[in-house]
């Protein structure tokens, strides 16, 4: 069974009397453990699609099912719960909370899930060691490089063992070497934990790295190609 | 975690936080200062009244209270000294009692003449209730019949000095005009303008003779146990004594006798608190502004938090904690600042003597003004500032909870 099923997904944005059709009918199936990239030019609907998959936005029509749950039927609170339990996010600008240390940033999702303190400490420390940040555990984001911050963001996305990680242009603010290291890290985690990764990108390196590449154009899937693991 | 984040967020922009807290603090400091100022004024007024004019409880013949400033002689307390002694003996709460006989006089000096009021007082018992003897500026307090003590202001108006002679013209109880010459044996200077500018004191016996009212008095002043400001207790005691004395007598508290004075003070206090309220509102607008600014700066961050699963309640709690921390700091600062100002006002005070010159304030108030400590009010102000700062943060917090994660993340 597919982890994610998208059928005839449409999304319109209304600005005054102007209606912008961001998604014009997307059909997709994403299996568990996929390492998938959604690419396309600016305005093609990548971020909109990711937002809807990530329960951050609702479709105008069509259905999105995550593990059999129809996301379009969910109320705001239920969508927030689903985000908290099952989805991890990695953002282009890392979006770490600047007043918290690397440890605390990664710890937050577990606090929200009411894990006990000892278990949280063990899990967060191990994960930060796994992503190569042993020396930076108690540093705040502003005292870290972009690559280190993105590693913290990846650790934060993965700490609760989500079924799905959504990454919106995760390498856009990184140099190519750091970007490649980040991708390798995500791929390693994808292989080790069988977590599904969905990227939006227009970075060729990311497209080449993904197992499956979906190209969007004007709110529609223009191509869907699999390279295999 | 939310509280930890709130503390760190508050100190993310330390200068902005401190400015906002200082604004709240200054507002609260004004509130504390105004309270101390009015408290000090009220204290002085009460003290000056009790030391010179009325005691805590005053016994009048029934019906006289309303016309007491006309000094009616047709209704007096007969055998007043005996009644005073009886009141002292019968009521444990009555520490001392002294009769006073007030009457209208025309004071005539060699160069000027003025309407005034005379007061016959018992030199033995009056000092046990009042404090006039310690306010003698020149000469001495009444010792024997024939002595006269005059208010300093009245003496000045009449151009009279210690040892000068003054004619006291009055009408007796039977309507007989009487003029007597007195040597000024003392000049009294109090902070009560009523006494200073209008009063001449002679012995009670002298007054009773002049007024043809042997053993009579217009009032009996009772010095009672306990705090004078506890008017509720005074009313209870007054009712009890009044009931025992019967229908011929009425008792009034010092507050009843000076209600007009406190009405004015009350109005001034309202104005003072209105000013303080405005200052507080300005401070609170400051906190709302600071919080809104902080929210606008943190839109992507708040969006990320919502995306991660923070509930609206979590965001609201964090914002309220931030407002509460700023409010706590501001309130603490305000109380410390207020305590400093009040300490200065109370311990050092402000001397308006040189500023006011000969101008007399129409209230029993010292020109060396002193404030009053009111720790209860300081605590109240602290909690008021803290609670209001927290509650007012609901406005920006509402804004923060309405941020949609998808829109917030778009602005990264």
Quote the distance between the C-alpha of residue A20 and its chain's center.
24
Residue B365 has a pLDDT of 65
| Residues B46-57 pLDDT 10s | 888 889 888 999
Integer Cα distance of B364 and B197 in angstroms: 12
Print the SS3 string covering A58-74. CCCEEEEEECCEEHHHC
Q: pLDDT band at A175, cuts 50/70/90? A: confident
Integer Cα distance of B30 and A78 in angstroms: 49
Burial B75-88 (b: 16+ CB within 10 A, else e): ebbeebbebbeebb
B226: tokens are: 């306990």
Q: Which distant-in-sequence residues (6+ apart) come within 8 Å of B282 by Cβ?
A: B23, B27
Side-by-side strand order, sheet with A35-39: A87-90, A164-168, A196-201, A35-39, A212-217, A220-226
Report DSSP state, residue B217: B
B296 with B288: CB under 8 angstroms?
no
Of the two residues B120 and B39, the one the predictor is more confident about is B120
For β-strands B113-121 and B350-351, DSSP reports them as: unpaired
Nearest to A95 among B12, B310, B412 (CB): B412
Q: Which distant-in-sequence residues (6+ apart) come within 8 Å of B17 by Cβ?
A: B10, B11, B290, B326, B329
Does the structure show a pLDDT above 70 at B119?
A: yes
Which residue from A minimizes the CA distance to B406?
Answer: A56
Integer Cα distance of B213 and B207 in angstroms: 8
Contact (CB<8Å) A77/B311: yes
A144: tokens are: 């870290």
pTM score: 0.75
> To 5 degrees, how large is the angle CA B339–CA B341–CA B344?
105
Element (H or E) spanning A80, and its range? helix A76-86
| Residues B164-187 pLDDT 10s | 999 999 999 888 889 999 999 999
Q: Which of A160-174, B159-173, B258-272 has the highest mean pLDDT?
A: B159-173
Average pLDDT, chain B: 87
Q: Which residues of A touch B1 (CB under 8 A)?
A: 104, 107-108, 111
* A155-169, A181-195, B90-104, B244-258: segment of lowest average pLDDT: A181-195
Q: Which residues of A touch B314 (CB under 8 A)?
A: 112
B241: tokens are: 């004594």
| Residues B281-295 pLDDT 10s | 887 888 888 888 888
B199 with B163: CB under 8 angstroms?
no
Query: Collapsing DSSP states into helix, strand and coil, what is residue B39?
Result: helix
Residue B333 has a pLDDT of 95
Which of A66, A118, A82 has its CA nearest to residue B308?
A82
Contact (CB<8Å) A80/B410: no
Does the structure show a pLDDT above 80 at A211?
A: yes
Residue B204 has a pLDDT of 94
Residue A76 has a pLDDT of 82
Does the structure show a pLDDT above 80 at B261?
A: no
Please, how many CA atoms are within 13 Å of residue B67, restricted to the half-sphere of its CB?
14
Q: Which residues of A touch B5 (CB under 8 A)?
A: 97, 99-100
Does the structure show a pLDDT above 90 at B274?
A: no
Which whole number is the average pLDDT over A167-173? 81
What is the share, in percent, of chain A residues with pLDDT greater than 70? 99
Shortest CA gap A83–chain B (Å): 6
Contact (CB<8Å) A112/B310: yes
Q: pLDDT band at B124, cuts 50/70/90? A: very high
Q: In this prediction, does ipTM exceed 0.85?
A: no
Integer Cα distance of B358 and B370 in angstroms: 20
Residue B163 has a pLDDT of 92
Which of B163, B152, B148 has its CA nearest to residue B203?
B148
| Residues A5-59 pLDDT 10s | 999 999 888 888 888 888 898 999 998 888 899 998 888 888 889 888 888 888 8
Distances (CA, A) of B71 to B52, B130, B257: 18, 20, 14
Which residue from B minimizes the CA distance to A106?
Answer: B308
Burial B353-389 (b: 16+ CB within 10 A, else e): eeeeeeeeeebbbbbebbbbbbeebbeebbebbbebb
Q: pLDDT band at A229, cuts 50/70/90? A: low
Q: Which distant-in-sequence residues (6+ apart) come within 8 Å of B281 by Cβ?
A: none
| Residues B127-172 pLDDT 10s | 999 999 999 999 999 999 999 999 999 999 999 999 999 999 999 9
Number of Cβ pairs < 8 A linking chain A and chain B = 61
User: Which of A11, A56, A168 to substitute to test the interface with B, most B CBs within 10 Å?
Assistant: A56
Integer Cα distance of A67 and A58 in angstroms: 17
Nearest to A56 among B305, B311, B406 (CB): B406
Contact (CB<8Å) A99/B1: no
User: Which of B307, B312, B412 to substitute to test the interface with A, most A CBs within 10 Å?
Assistant: B307
Residue B265 has a pLDDT of 65
B357: tokens are: 């010159």
Of the two residues B356 and A51, the one the predictor is more confident about is A51
Which residue from A minimizes the CA distance to B408?
Answer: A56
Assigned fold of A34-56+73-226? Rossmann fold (3.40.50)
Shortest CA gap B307–chain A (Å): 7
Contact (CB<8Å) B8/A100: yes
């Amino acid at each position: 069974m597919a982890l994610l099923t998208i059928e005839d997904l449409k999304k319109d944005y209304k600005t005054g009397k102007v209606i912008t059709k961001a998604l014009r009918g997307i059909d997709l199936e994403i299996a568990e453990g996929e390492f998938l990239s959604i690419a396309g030019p600016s305005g093609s609907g990548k971020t909109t699609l990711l937002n809807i998959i990530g329960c951050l936005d609702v479709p105008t029509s069509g259905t999105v099912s995550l593990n059999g749950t129809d996301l379009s039927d969910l109320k705001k609170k239920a969508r927030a719960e689903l985000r908290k339990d099952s989805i991890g996010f990695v953002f282009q600008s890392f979006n770490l909370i600047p007043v918290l240390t690397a440890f605390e940033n990664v710890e937050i999702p577990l606090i929200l899930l009411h894990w006990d303190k000892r278990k949280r400490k063990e899990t967060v420390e191990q994960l930060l060691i796994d992503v190569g940040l042993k020396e930076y555990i108690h540093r705040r984001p502003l005292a870290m490089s972009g690559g280190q911050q993105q590693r913290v963001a990846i650790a934060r996305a993965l700490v609760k063992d989500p079924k799905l990680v959504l990454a919106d242009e995760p390498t856009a603010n990184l140099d190519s070497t750091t970007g490649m290291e980040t991708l390798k890290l995500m791929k390693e985690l994808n292989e080790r934990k069988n977590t599904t990764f969905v990227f939006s990108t227009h970075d060729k390196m990311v497209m080449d790295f993904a197992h499956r590449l979906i190209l969007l154009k004007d709110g529609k899937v223009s191509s869907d190609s699999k390279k295999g693991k | 975690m939310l509280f930890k984040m709130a503390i760190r967020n508050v100190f993310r922009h330390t200068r902005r936080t401190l400015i906002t807290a200082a604004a709240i603090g200054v507002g609260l400091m004004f509130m504390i200062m105004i309270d101390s100022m009015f408290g000090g004024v009220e204290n002085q007024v009460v003290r000056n009244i009790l030391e010179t004019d009325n005691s805590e409880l005053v016994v009048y013949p029934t019906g006289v209270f309303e016309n007491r400033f006309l000094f009616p002689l047709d209704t007096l307390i007969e055998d007043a000294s005996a009644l005073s002694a009886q009141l002292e003996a019968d009521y444990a709460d009555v520490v001392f009692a002294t009769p006073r006989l007030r009457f209208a006089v025309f004071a005539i000096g060699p160069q000027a003449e003025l309407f005034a009021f005379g007061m016959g007082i018992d030199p033995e018992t009056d000092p046990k209730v009042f404090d006039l003897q310690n306010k003698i500026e020149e000469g001495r307090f009444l010792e024997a019949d024939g002595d006269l003590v005059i208010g300093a202001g009245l003496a000045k108006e009449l151009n009279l000095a210690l040892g000068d002679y003054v004619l006291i013209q009055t009408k007796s109880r039977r309507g007989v005009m009487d003029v007597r010459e007195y040597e000024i044996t003392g000049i009294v200077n109090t902070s009560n303008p009523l006494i200073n500018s209008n009063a001449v004191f002679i012995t009670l016996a002298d007054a009773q003779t002049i007024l043809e009212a042997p053993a009579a008095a217009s009032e009996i002043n009772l010095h009672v146990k306990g705090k004078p400001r506890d008017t509720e207790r005074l009313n209870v005691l007054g009712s009890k004594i009044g009931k025992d004395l019967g229908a011929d007598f009425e008792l009034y508290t010092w507050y009843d006798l000076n209600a007009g004075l406190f009405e004015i003070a009350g109005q001034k206090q309202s104005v003072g608190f209105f000013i303080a309220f405005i200052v507080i509102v300005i401070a609170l607008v400051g906190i709302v502004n600071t919080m809104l600014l902080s929210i606008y700066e943190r839109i992507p961050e708040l969006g990320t938090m919502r995306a991660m699963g923070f509930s609206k309640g979590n965001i609201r709690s964090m914002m309220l904690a931030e407002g509460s921390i700023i409010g706590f700091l501001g309130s603490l600062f305000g109380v410390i600042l207020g305590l400093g100002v009040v300490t200065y006002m109370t311990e050092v005070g402000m001397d308006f003597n040189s500023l006011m010159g000969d101008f007399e304030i129409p209230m029993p108030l010292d020109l060396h003004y002193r404030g009053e400590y009111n720790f209860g009010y300081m605590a109240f102000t602290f909690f008021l500032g803290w609670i209001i700062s927290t509650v007012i943060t609901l406005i920006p917090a509402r804004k923060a909870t309405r941020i949609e994660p998808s829109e917030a993340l778009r602005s990264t």
